[in-house]
Each structure stands twice: as C-alpha cells, then as structure tokens.
C-alpha cells in the first residue's frame, strides 16, 4: 500500500510539473495574436462577484452579434461573433433580405486580467441591412492547445448557397477550425451531409449551431461514447471527433 501511495504521489507531482512547463512554454493560446490585435474593450473582473450568485457584472461589451461561448484550455472565455453581414451579394433569407460580408469574429475574454481581445476576424457573415438576424460563426469548442473548432450557420436549403451567394455561399453550413496563431479555415460541408443523410427525415433546412469537440474516442467514458454513437447512428457522422447540434 505504501508503495502504491508513493507511486501515486510521484505521478501527481510529474503531472503538476508538466502542466507548469506547458504554461511556461506555450503560455495562453493566441497570446501573440492578442498583442497584435487592438482590444475590443478592457474591463474589470472581480472573483468576489462570482461568489455572490445575486450579483452580475458585464465582462465584455461591444461584441458583434455574439453567439456560442466556450472556455479555452488556458481558462480564457471565447465568444463566437456572427458579425453583421456586409455590402456583398444579397438574397432573401428566413427573416428578410440578408447580405454577405466578412464581419464575423472570435473574441477572447481573459477572466483574470479582464482584457478582451478580438483574436480572429474576417469570418463570413450574413445579416439584414441593420445587422440583425445575423448568421455566421455560431459556436466554438476546444480540445487542447491550438485545437479549436467552430460551426458556420446557414438557415435554409444548403443547395441555395451557391445560387444566392455564388462562391461565397460555400462557406456556410460548414465546420471550421482555428489554431493557436488565430488562423482559421473552413472545412467539412455539413450542409451537403444533411442533404445526403437528412437525419430528421423532414425538410432540408440546414443551420449548424452548437458544437462540442470531443477527445479521442478511447479517452472518454464508455457510456457517453455509446450514447453518442446511438444518437448519431442514423446520421453516420463520425462522433469520435465532434458532437454537433443544429436546427
């Protein structure tokens, strides 16, 4: 028993030292991008506010149609901002005439220092002329340093993307990624997947929203892994990487 305890303490110490070294080497993800980008707004943050559930405090303002929130691996809070469209091509959407622009972004909120910094910008966005009813980046999720993923919404039949917005339309109803340098890219076509699989069996109306980036399938509990597989079996989407929700 004493030997087992000694081994456990040794492993815990190694893990603690490893975490400290990682923090020293890597620091906060996107930190060097933050230094190059002007802050959206610096705000104060008091931990005592959290202790009092009856009190609230604004930790960030001036966000551009914020959507999903996610904590990064270093403890900062990230906000997906759908943007406000732009002066590009316009077409009728669910709520009216929406126009294309690249006003979407991702903002990092450091809850310790209170500094709010836009770490990624230029992400495609659709919105009405006044910036309302925006569609673009909907949610963001992390699984380790430099490993972020996000969803791009749409709201309609994905076959209309190219018809309404030509090549720019291909960036919607997709899965995107962002690395530790703040560089982002748009990849897998969730709209095409929905057209092919139609998991709900009703009209094709693709609007990817929530995302939860999962660890490798072997490193999370069997019960949750089985539940995910059952949930997505009809859709046959690889749930060992992402768990997605949408409307």
* pLDDT tens column, 153-203: 999 999 999 999 999 999 999 999 999 889 999 999 999 998 998 888 888
pTM greater than 0.75 (yes/no) = no
Distances from the Cα of 50 to the Cαs of 19, 53, 79, in angstroms? Answer: 26, 6, 19
In a domain? residue 167: yes
* pLDDT score recorded for residue 144: 77
User: What is the tally of structural domains in the chain?
Assistant: 1
pLDDT tens by residue, 41-73? 434 445 555 555 567 788 999 999 999 999 998
- Reported confidence tier of residue 10, pLDDT bands at 50, 70, 90: very low
Query: For residue 140, how many other CB atoms are within 10 A of its CB?
Result: 25
Q: List Cβ<8 Å contacts ≥24 apart for 11-16.
A: none
Distances from the Cα of 173 to the Cαs of 23, 37, 207, in angstroms? Answer: 35, 28, 6
- Reported residue count of the chain is 247
Tokens of 238: 């690889």
- Reported confidence tier of residue 216, pLDDT bands at 50, 70, 90: low
**Quick one: how far is CA 73 from the chain centroid?**
13
Tokens of 153: 């919404």
In a domain? residue 16: no
* pLDDT score recorded for residue 57: 83
Q: What are the helix and strand counts (H, E) for the chain? A: 6, 12
In a domain? residue 1: no
In a domain? residue 20: no
In a domain? residue 7: no
CB 28 within 8 A of CB 35: no
In a domain? residue 224: yes
* pLDDT score recorded for residue 49: 54
In a domain? residue 11: no
Residues ≥6 apart with Cβ < 8 Å to 51 = none
Domain that holds residue 186: 28-246
- Reported confidence tier of residue 147, pLDDT bands at 50, 70, 90: confident
**Averaged pLDDT for residues 127-144:** 94
pLDDT tens by residue, 73-88? 899 999 999 999 999 9
In a domain? residue 17: no
* pLDDT score recorded for residue 56: 79
What mean pLDDT, rounded, does the chain reach?
76
């Amino acid at each position: 028993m004493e030997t087992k305890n000694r081994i456990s303490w040794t492993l815990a110490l190694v893990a603690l030292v490893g975490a400290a070294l990682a923090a020293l080497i890597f620091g906060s993800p996107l930190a060097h991008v933050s230094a190059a980008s002007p802050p959206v707004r610096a705000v104060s943050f008091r931990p005592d506010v959290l202790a009092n559930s009856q009190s609230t405090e604004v930790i960030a303002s001036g966000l551009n149609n914020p959507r999903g929130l996610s904590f990064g691996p270093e403890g900062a809070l990230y906000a997906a901002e759908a943007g406000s469209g732009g002066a590009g091509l316009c077409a009728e959407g669910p709520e009216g005439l929406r126009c294309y622009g690249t006003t979407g972004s991702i903002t990092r909120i450091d809850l310790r220092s209170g500094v709010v910094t836009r770490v990624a910008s230029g992400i495609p966005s659709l919105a009405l002329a006044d910036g309302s009813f925006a569609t673009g980046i909907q949610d963001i999720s992390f699984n380790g340093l430099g490993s972020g993923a996000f969803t791009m919404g749409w709201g309609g039949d994905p076959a209309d993307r190219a018809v309404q917005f030509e090549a720019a339309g291909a960036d919607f109803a997709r899965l995107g990624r962002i690395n530790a340098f703040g560089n982002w890219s748009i990849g897998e076509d969730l709209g095409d997947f929905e057209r092919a699989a139609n998991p709900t069996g009703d009209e094709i109306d693709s609007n990817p929203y929530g995302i939860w980036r999962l660890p490798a399938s072997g490193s999370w509990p069997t019960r949750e892994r089985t539940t995910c597989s059952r949930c997505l079996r009809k859709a046959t989407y690889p749930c060992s990487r992402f768990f997605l929700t949408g409307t």
